[in-house]
Chain A
Amino acid sequence: MYCAIVIPGFHLQASLRYEPGLRERAVVIVDEGGKPPRIEQLTRAARRAGIRAGMTSTQGLARCPELLVRYRSPEHERMAGDALLQCAACVSPGIEATGEGVGTLDLKGLPPAAHRQAAEGLIRQLGRQEMVAKAGIAATPGLALLAARNARPILHLMRPADLHELPVSALAPGPELAGTLRRLGIRRLREFCDLPPEGIAARFGEEGVAQWRCVMGKSTRLLRLVTPPETYEEATDFENDIELLEPLLFMLRRFIERIADRLAAAYLAVAALELRIGFAAGADYARAFPVPSPTRDVETLFRMLFTHLESFQSPHPIRSLHLAARPCKAVKEQLGLFETTLRDPNQFHQTLARLSALVGADRAGVPVRDNTFRPDAFRLEPPAFHAAAPPGQARKGSGGARGLALRRFRPPRPAHVFTAEQRPVSLSMEAFSAPLGESSGPWLTSGEWWDGQAWERAEWEVESADGRLYRLSQQDGRWYIEGIYD
C-alpha cells in the first residue's frame, strides 16, 4: 500500500508558512515567470472576493483592492518541500518526492490497521510545520495520489471505482489534455474510464494512457526513492523590513520549533546552527553556532541565538532570515566543552569554517574583484580547492613592466590636502606635512547612482618636495592617502 501526501496550493502555502496570519485574508501567489504574470493560487478569502486563478494581479486588485500579492519563492518552496520529505521520512524509509508539494510513501511493513494512523500523524506533523496537508492511501502510487488530491483530509481508497464520481480535474491533466476533455464534455472520471482504451492511446498519447491506467488501477510503478535533505532549514524574506529585535526573535523561535519538531520525529539532535541575516542594503550577516552538546531542546537552542543577537547591531533594516541546523545522532553523553571536532588534521575546510565562524562568513574566503569601476571593490568567495590553476599558467598581468609599484595603505589614511586652482598643493597627516610639486589627475570615477549606494571618487598622483610619489583620493569631500609609489 502507498500513502500519497499532498499540500494543496503548495506555492501559496510555502509562502504563507512565514506569514500564517495572512491565511484568512485575501492573498494570491503570482508566478512572475508567466507572460504576463498571472495569479496561480489564492486563499479562500481571495476566492470569495471574486478572484480566480489565471487573472493578472491587476484584475485581482480590481476586484479586491485589499488583495495582498505575493510572488513565488523558490527558496520557500524548496524548504517546504524539504520539510515535507523530512516529516515523511519519519513514517517510512521509502519516500518519493513525487512533485511540488507531493510526496508518496511506501507503507510496506506497516500493519494495515496503522496506515490511517500514520497518515493522520503525518498530517498533524505537517500542521505543526504550518502546512495543511491531505493524504490518500491506496494500492498503487497513482491511485494514492488521486485519493490524496480528493481527500478530506484522508481518503483510504479500497476500490478504484470509488474515485469514479470525482471530476477529471482530479487527474491534474496537462493543459492540452484538460482542454480536450473539457471540450469533449468529459467531466467525471467515470466518463474518462468509459472511453475505449485504444481510442485513448490514439488520441491522448502516453499521458492519456498513463492517466487512464492509473485511474483504472491497472498500473503501478516503483517509487523513485529519495533521501530527505540532511540539513534542516527555515528561511523567509520579510514583506516589510525589520528594525527591531522582537519580531526577529519571534520568527527565530518559530523556526527552531519547526526544526526541532522534525528532528524529534527523526530522533536527531542539532549539532550546529547557522544563522544568516540579509539586510535591506544588500549585504548578508552570517554566523555559525556549534552546539557543544547536541540537543533539540527549543529553549536551549533559542537561548544560544538570543544571547548572540542581544548584542547584535545592524546599520540596516533586516530583510531576510535563514536558519539551518546540521543534525547529528542524539547522544546521551556530555562531550568535553572544549573538545575539538577536528578529527582529521588535513581538513582545511573545517579550519576555514571555524575561521569563518570567528570572523564572519563574509570575511573569510578568496577575494574576487567586483565587476565595477569602484577601486578595490571585491567580494569574498569560497575557495575552489578542487579547481587549481593548471601548472605553468601565469596570472594575467603579473609579468611585464606596468609602471611603478604602489604600496597601498590599508585602510587609506585620512589626510589634509590644500588645493590651488583645483589641484593639490600641500599634504598633511598626523605628524607629517609636505608641500606638493607635480601632480596628475584627477581620475574620476563614479557609479551605483541608482540606489542608496552611489559613490564618486577622484584620484591624484602627487609628488612631494622630497621626491616621493603618493596616490591621493578624494571621496565625500574627504582626502585620503591611498598609497605610496616605490
Chain B
Amino acid sequence: MNSTGYCELHARSACNFLRGASTPEHLAEAAAMLGIPAVAVHDRDGVYGAPRFHARARELGVRPIIGCELTLEDGGILPVIVLTRGGYQNLCKLITVGKLRGTKTECSVTWAELARHTEGLAALTGDEEGHLRRLLAGEDAGAPPAFLRKLAGIFGRGNVYLEIQRHFLRGERVYNRRLIALAAQTGLPLLATNGVCYAAPQGRQVLDVFTCIRHHTSLDLAGTLLSPNDQRHLKDAAAMEALFADVPEAVSNTLLLAARVEFSLENLGYHFPTYRGMDAAAMAAMLREQTYAGARNRFSALDQKVRAQLEHELDLIIRLGIAGYFLIVWDIVRYCHEHHIMVQGRGSAANSAVCFSLGITYCDPLKYRLLFERFLTENRKGAWPDIDLDLPSGDKREQVIQEVYKRYGRTGAAMTANVITYRGRSAMREVGKALGLSPDVMDRFSDLYANGDFPHTIGLEDQLGMAGVAATHPRWRAVCGLFQAIYGLPRHLGQHSGGMIIFEGRLDSIVPLENASMPGRVVAQWDKDDCEDLGIIKVDFLGLGMMAVIQDTVELSARRGRPVDLAQLPEKDPATFEMIRAADTIGVFQIESRAQMATLPRMKPESFYDLVIEVAIIRPGPIQGNLTHPYLRRRRGEEPVTYYHPDVMEVLERTLGVPLFQEQMLKIAMVLADFTGAEADELRRALGFHRSEEKMARVQVKLRSALARKGHKPEVIEQVVAAVTSFALYGFPESHAISFAHLAYGSAYLKAHRAPEFYASLLNNQPMGFYSGATLIMDAKRRGIKFHSVDIVHSGWLCAVNPDDSIRLGFCVVEGFSAGPAGQLLEERARTPFHSLPDLRRRVPLSMRVLRTLAGIGALESLEPGRRQALWNVLESHDTDDLFQAPAEAPAFPAMTAGEELEADYEGMRLSVARHGMELVRPELEGVLRAADLPARQNGEYVTVAGAVICRQRPGTAKGFVFVSLEDETGISNAVVEPRFFERHRRLITGEPFLMISGRLQNVEGVIHIRAAHIEPLETGNRCSADSHDFR
C-alpha cells in the first residue's frame, strides 16, 4: 500500500438500511474511480452488504474492509473495523447476540458482551450518533477522556481511533478542536473519515428521502433532520489531505489502519458442514454405505453401469469434502419419511445417482441418461450445488424446518435472507410520501402496474401523467429523479422462501444471525446469491402446495378405502392421458396454466416423457429461442427432424433434434466443442449469470473458437451459439422437468381417478396454484361432483368427501373463522351434538362476526331453517344466560333469492357451491356466447363472450400481448389482447371483475381464443366473482 493516500474507513451503503444511498457496488465503483485503495463499509448491526461490496471491489482492485456500526445498550453507535478472522468471528457473534435478544428490527450489545469479543477488532469513536459526540456536547469535561480510557481498556490502546470528519459545517470546528485536544491528551490516534453516506454528491437527495422514511415525515416537514449539505460522498486523497492539512496524521493513519487489516471474506473460515461431528473418513464410509444400501432398493439391478456411476459420483463427492452435506440432507429426508412427510429432491440433484440412491430424488438418472456434471463437477469455482427439497407447503414444511433448527441449534442453522428492494410501487409510495403527493395519486400510479411489476410497458412519465402528476407539477422532476434513484435499492431484509444454511453450532461465526418476523425462525444476513458467491452450501426447503395436495389426496383415499400407491402408478394410464390431451387440467400441477392448456391439444402427450417435454417447453427459454413451434411441428410430422451435426443425434434424439433442456446444451458443448464437464457447467453459469454481461461475452467467444477449432461449419457454429445463448439463461434442466412431470402426472392421475379426494385436498390447501377455490368447484361440478356447503352439524375443519363421493365444504373456507374457535366447536360437537342454535351459542363462544357469517352462508340451517331466520337469531345479544326465558318468536323473513344467496356465499367464503354468478345475468345477455358454445363456432367468426375475469397474464415472452381468461357457468373462455389495444383499455382490463369481450374467434387444433376487438365492463349488480390470477 502507498505511504501517501487515503482510505475511507467509515462508509455506509444502502445495505445500511435507510442510512446509505448507494449500493455497495456503486460505492466500490466510485472508490475505484477516485483511486481510493481501500474502503470499509459499515452496516448498522450487520454485514448485509459485505459480500456484494467484496465481490465488486475485488473486481475493481479496491480492497474491501468489513466494518460495522454496533448499537450498544446505551443507544450509542460504535463503529468497528475487522482486522483479523478472529475479529470477524467476534463481530458476527456480537451482532448475533445483540440481534437474537431483540425483535426483528432491534439490536443491542451490552458493554460486557463487547468486552468479551474485541479481539481482532478496532474501534472508531464515530460521528453524530457516537458516544464521544454526545459527551463532548455535554457539560462534564471529564467524561470524554474517561470514555476514551474505557474504550482503550476494552479494545487495547492501539485499537481505538478518534474519528474526525469535516463536512464544511459551521460549528464542526469547535467540536474538532476538542477532538484534536483529546487526541493530544490521551495519545490516541486521529483518523480522518468522511462518514460517507453516498458515492457521489447527488446521493444526498436519496439520503434525505430515506431520512424522511426513517422519521415518518416528509421533506417539507423534516427540517433539520435532513442533510445540511451534500458533502458526505466519497472523496479522493487530495481532497481529504486538503481538508485535514492541519492534522495530516489523521489521513495517513487511515493507511496504517487499513494495512493492519488481514481479514477478507475470501478467508471466511467456512468449511463444509460435518455430519454429527464425524471426521472425513467416517463420513465417507457412511455415505458409501448408505448409498449402496439405498441403491439396492432404488435401482432395478445393481449392475456394473450403476456401480460405475455411483463410484464416479462418490469419488468426486468425497474428494470435494462434501460427504457431510449429503448425509445431512439424507438425514433430513429420512426424518421426512419417518414422519410421513412427502419429500422430493428437485433441480440438478436429480442428475445424481447418489441422491437417487439416498432417497433424496425420485428420478433414475441412468434411465433418463441425465448428466451428472450438471449437478457437480470438480471445478465449480466456489459455487456448490444446492439440493432443493420439495415439501408439502404449510405445517409439514415448517415441521421440517423446525427440526433442522432443533438438530443444529439456533446458531447452527438459519434461513438465507432475501433482500427486499424498492420496486415500482414501493419506490413511488416512499417518494410520494416524502414529496407530499396525495395518497390517491400514489394509488392510481400503483393501480397502473396491474397487480405486478413485471412486465411493465408504460414509461414513468406517462404513468405519472395517468396518475395525475403532470409534467407541469412543481415536483414532477423530483418525483421522476427520485423514483429512478431509489428503484432497486435495498429496502429491508426478508427471509428466503426456503433456503437454509447449516454449520453445526458455529454458523454465527460465519455470518451474523437475526430473528425473522416469523416466530421460531432465524435468518442469516446474506441472501442466497451472497452465500453461493462465498461458497456456502445450502439446502432449499421449498413448499409446494401440490405436494400437500397429493399427500392429502393419498391419505384421504386410503381412509376412504380406495388407497393409491404413487410409486406404482401405471405409466401410460389412458384416462389420465386422455384428460391431459383434452386440456382438462385445472388443478393439475404445472400444466394447468392458460399457456400450457393451449399447448396440450397440439402436443397430445402420450407418455410420461411427453409430459417432461410439456413442462419444459412452455418456458421463456424455448419460447424466446423459437424452439417450441419447431418441436411441435416436428412432432406432428410437418417438418423433418434434423440435427446440428450427426454427433449430437444421440443428445437430441428424444427431443426431435430441438434442444429443450439445459443438459442437452451442456452435452452439445461437450460433444461439438470438446468442453469438459466443468467447462460446460462454467458456460451454463456464465450465461445465466445475471450480474455480468462481460462473462457471458467471454464464454461465447470461448465456445465459438472451440467449435471453430473442431472444424465445424460457420452456419453450425452460429446455430449452436444462438441456441445455447438464447435459452441457456432460462432453459429448464431436464432433471427438474422430470421431477415436475412426476408431480404433474401424479396429480393428473389423482384428478382422473380420485377426483373427489383430489378436489377436496385442493380446496383444503388454498390459496395455491393457478385457480381460486370458486373456479376449482366449478371445474369439479363439470366433472359431476356434487358439493354441499358448510354445515354446522356436518362440516369438519377441512373439506371432506362423503360416502356418495360428494364433497362437504369445511370450516376452513369460511372467511374469518380460524382454526382455534373451529377446533373448540368441533370438540364440543364431538362430545354432544348441538340440538339448537341457543345450544350452540351456549356451549361455544363464537364471535358475533363468525356467527353472522355462518348464518349468512346457510351453515346454521341444520339448526335453524332459513338463512335469514338464523341470522335474526344469532344477532340477538347473548349476555344473559336465562334458561327460563322463552325465546321470542322470530319474524317471518322471505327466503333469500338466488342472487342474494350467491352474494352472501361470496361474502362469507369467496366461493359458492350453488351456481356461477354468470348464470343469473345470462338472461340479460343477448347474443353473448357461453364458453361451452365456442367449440361449435367457426374459425374467424365474430363472437362475444362474457364472464368473471379469473386470469390476466402478460408473459415476458409474448411481446406485450395480454391473455385474459373469463369464467362463466359452463367453463372458461380465453381472449388475446393486442398490446396497443391493451394500453388503450389498460384500466378496464386490469380493474374490472367482469368483462364482456368481442372479437374474431380462433379455433385451431382444438385451441380456442378470441382476439379482442371490443371490450367493456359487465354490470352484474352485487354478484361476486372469484379472485383473479394476475400477471404472475
Residues of A within 8 A of B (CB): 30, 32, 36-37, 50, 56-59, 61-63, 65, 69, 71, 180, 183-185, 194-196, 198-199, 202-205, 280, 370-373, 440-447, 449-452, 459
B702 CB-CB contact with A under 8 Å: no
Q: In the complex, A466→B302 CA distance in Å? A: 103
Given A62-B992, A451-B475, 20 more A-B residue pairs with CB atoms under 8 Å apart are A32-B438, A32-B440, A36-B439, A50-B1017, A56-B443, A56-B444, A58-B444, A62-B987, A71-B440, A180-B852, A184-B871, A199-B891, A371-B221, A371-B224, A443-B170, A449-B204, A449-B478, A450-B478, A450-B482, A451-B474
Contacting pair B478 A57 (CB below 8 A): no
Those of B200-217 within 8 Å (CB) of chain A: 204-205, 208
Closest-by-CB residue of A relative to B474 is: A451
Contacting pair B440 A57 (CB below 8 A): yes
| Contact A180/B871 with A69-B440, A185-B893 known, Cβ cut-off 8 Å | yes
Note all chain B residues with C-beta closer than 8 A to A36.
Answer: 439-440, 443
B863 CB-CB contact with A under 8 Å: no
B1001 CB-CB contact with A under 8 Å: no
Contacting pair A59 B904 (CB below 8 A): no
Q: In the complex, A449→B209 CA distance in Å? A: 11
Q: In the complex, A36→B440 CA distance in Å? A: 8
- The smallest C-beta distance from A133 to any residue of chain B, in angstroms, reads 28
Contact of A446 among B230, B856, B894 (CB under 8 A): B230
- The smallest C-beta distance from A104 to any residue of chain B, in angstroms, reads 31
Q: In the complex, A371→B168 CA distance in Å? A: 20
Closest-by-CB residue of A relative to B987 is: A62
Note all chain A residues with C-beta closer than 8 A to B168.
Answer: 441-444
Closest 10 CB pairs of A and B: A371-B223, A62-B987, A58-B447, A203-B875, A37-B440, A444-B168, A443-B170, A450-B478, A62-B988, A444-B229
Closest-by-CB residue of B relative to A458 is: B168
Contacting pair A280 B474 (CB below 8 A): yes
Contacting pair B872 A184 (CB below 8 A): yes
Note all chain A residues with C-beta closer than 8 A to B888.
Answer: 196, 198-199
Q: In the complex, A101→B628 CA distance in Å? A: 65
Q: In the complex, A30→B442 CA distance in Å? A: 13
Contacting pair B443 A58 (CB below 8 A): yes
- The smallest C-beta distance from B907 to any residue of chain A, in angstroms, reads 9
Q: In the complex, A37→B208 CA distance in Å? A: 27
Contact of B868 among A50, A184, A196, A205 (CB under 8 A): A184
What are 26 of the A-B contact pairs (CB < 8 Å)? Answer: A36-B443, A37-B439, A37-B443, A58-B991, A62-B991, A183-B868, A184-B868, A185-B900, A195-B891, A196-B891, A199-B888, A202-B875, A202-B877, A204-B875, A280-B474, A371-B223, A371-B224, A443-B169, A444-B229, A445-B169, A446-B229, A449-B205, A450-B434, A450-B475, A451-B475, A459-B170
Note all chain B residues with C-beta closer than 8 A to A202.
Answer: 875-877
Contact of B474 among A32, A37, A61, A452 (CB under 8 A): A452
Contacting pair A372 B877 (CB below 8 A): no
B173 CB-CB contact with A under 8 Å: yes
| Contact A440/B173 with A56-B443, A183-B856, A370-B223 known, Cβ cut-off 8 Å | yes
Contacting pair A372 B444 (CB below 8 A): no
| Contact A58/B448 with A71-B438, A443-B170 known, Cβ cut-off 8 Å | yes
Contacting pair A185 B868 (CB below 8 A): yes
Note all chain A residues with C-beta closer than 8 A to B478.
Answer: 449-451
Q: In the complex, A444→B226 CA distance in Å? A: 14
Contacting pair A203 B169 (CB below 8 A): no
Q: In the complex, A65→B988 CA distance in Å? A: 10
- The smallest C-beta distance from B872 to any residue of chain A, in angstroms, reads 6
Note all chain A residues with C-beta closer than 8 A to B992.
Answer: 59, 62
Note all chain A residues with C-beta closer than 8 A to B991.
Answer: 56, 58-59, 62
Contacting pair B224 A372 (CB below 8 A): yes
Contact of A63 among B231, B440, B1017 (CB under 8 A): B1017
Q: In the complex, A184→B870 CA distance in Å? A: 10
Q: In the complex, A194→B891 CA distance in Å? A: 9
Closest-by-CB residue of B relative to A371 is: B223
Those of B838-854 within 8 Å (CB) of chain A: 852
Note all chain A residues with C-beta closer than 8 A to B173.
Answer: 440
- The smallest C-beta distance from B539 to any residue of chain A, in angstroms, reads 40
B652 CB-CB contact with A under 8 Å: no
- The smallest C-beta distance from A41 to any residue of chain B, in angstroms, reads 15
Please count the residue pairs between chain A and chain B whose beta carbons lie under 8 angstroms apart in the complex. Answer: 128
Contacting pair A61 B987 (CB below 8 A): yes
Which applies to chain A's interface (DSSP): helix, strand, loop or mixed?
Answer: mixed
Task: Name which of B443, B482, B893 has the most chain A CB atoms within 10 A of its CB.
Answer: B443
Per-position binary interface string of chain B over residues 444-455, scored 1 when its CB falls under 8 Å from any chain A CB and 0 otherwise: 100110000000
B468 CB-CB contact with A under 8 Å: yes
B262 CB-CB contact with A under 8 Å: no
Closest-by-CB residue of B relative to A37 is: B440
Q: In the complex, A195→B875 CA distance in Å? A: 13
Note all chain B residues with C-beta closer than 8 A to A58.
Answer: 443-444, 447-448, 987, 991
Contacting pair A445 B229 (CB below 8 A): yes
Q: In the complex, A121→B394 CA distance in Å? A: 68
- The smallest C-beta distance from A50 to any residue of chain B, in angstroms, reads 6
Q: In the complex, A255→B170 CA distance in Å? A: 51
Per-position binary interface string of chain B over residues 978-1004, scored 1 when its CB falls under 8 Å from any chain A CB and 0 otherwise: 000000010110111000000000000
- The smallest C-beta distance from B337 to any residue of chain A, in angstroms, reads 48
Contacting pair A183 B443 (CB below 8 A): no
Closest-by-CB residue of A relative to B876 is: A202
Contact of A199 among B204, B224, B468, B876 (CB under 8 A): B876
Contact of A203 among B440, B877, B904 (CB under 8 A): B877
B566 CB-CB contact with A under 8 Å: no
B219 CB-CB contact with A under 8 Å: yes
B106 CB-CB contact with A under 8 Å: no
Q: In the complex, A207→B1003 CA distance in Å? A: 59
Note all chain B residues with C-beta closer than 8 A to A30.
Answer: 440
Note all chain B residues with C-beta closer than 8 A to A459.
Answer: 170
- The smallest C-beta distance from B437 to any residue of chain A, in angstroms, reads 11
Q: In the complex, A445→B231 CA distance in Å? A: 10
- The smallest C-beta distance from A214 to any residue of chain B, in angstroms, reads 20
- The smallest C-beta distance from B135 to any residue of chain A, in angstroms, reads 19
Closest-by-CB residue of B relative to A35 is: B439
| Contact A450/B440 with A194-B891, A196-B888, A444-B169 known, Cβ cut-off 8 Å | no
Note all chain A residues with C-beta closer than 8 A to B308.
Answer: none
- The smallest C-beta distance from A408 to any residue of chain B, in angstroms, reads 15
Q: In the complex, A36→B474 CA distance in Å? A: 25
Note all chain B residues with C-beta closer than 8 A to A65.
Answer: 987
Contacting pair A203 B872 (CB below 8 A): yes
B228 CB-CB contact with A under 8 Å: yes
Note all chain A residues with C-beta closer than 8 A to B204.
Answer: 449
Closest-by-CB residue of B relative to A201 is: B877
Q: In the complex, A443→B168 CA distance in Å? A: 5
Q: In the complex, A196→B875 CA distance in Å? A: 14
Q: In the complex, A372→B226 CA distance in Å? A: 8
- The smallest C-beta distance from A422 to any residue of chain B, in angstroms, reads 10
- The smallest C-beta distance from B425 to any residue of chain A, in angstroms, reads 12
Note all chain A residues with C-beta closer than 8 A to B990.
Answer: 62
Note all chain A residues with C-beta closer than 8 A to B856.
Answer: 183
Q: In the complex, A52→B208 CA distance in Å? A: 40
- The smallest C-beta distance from A315 to any residue of chain B, in angstroms, reads 14
Note all chain A residues with C-beta closer than 8 A to B229.
Answer: 373, 444-446
B639 CB-CB contact with A under 8 Å: no
| Contact A450/B1019 with A58-B443, A59-B987, A180-B871 known, Cβ cut-off 8 Å | no
Closest-by-CB residue of B relative to A36 is: B443
Note all chain A residues with C-beta closer than 8 A to B219.
Answer: 450
Note all chain A residues with C-beta closer than 8 A to B893.
Answer: 184-185
Q: In the complex, A449→B856 CA distance in Å? A: 56
Contact of B896 among A50, A185, A195, A196 (CB under 8 A): A185
B435 CB-CB contact with A under 8 Å: yes
Note all chain B residues with C-beta closer than 8 A to A371.
Answer: 221, 223-224
Closest-by-CB residue of B relative to A204 is: B875
Q: In the complex, A56→B441 CA distance in Å? A: 11
Note all chain A residues with C-beta closer than 8 A to B474.
Answer: 280, 451-452
Q: In the complex, A36→B445 CA distance in Å? A: 13
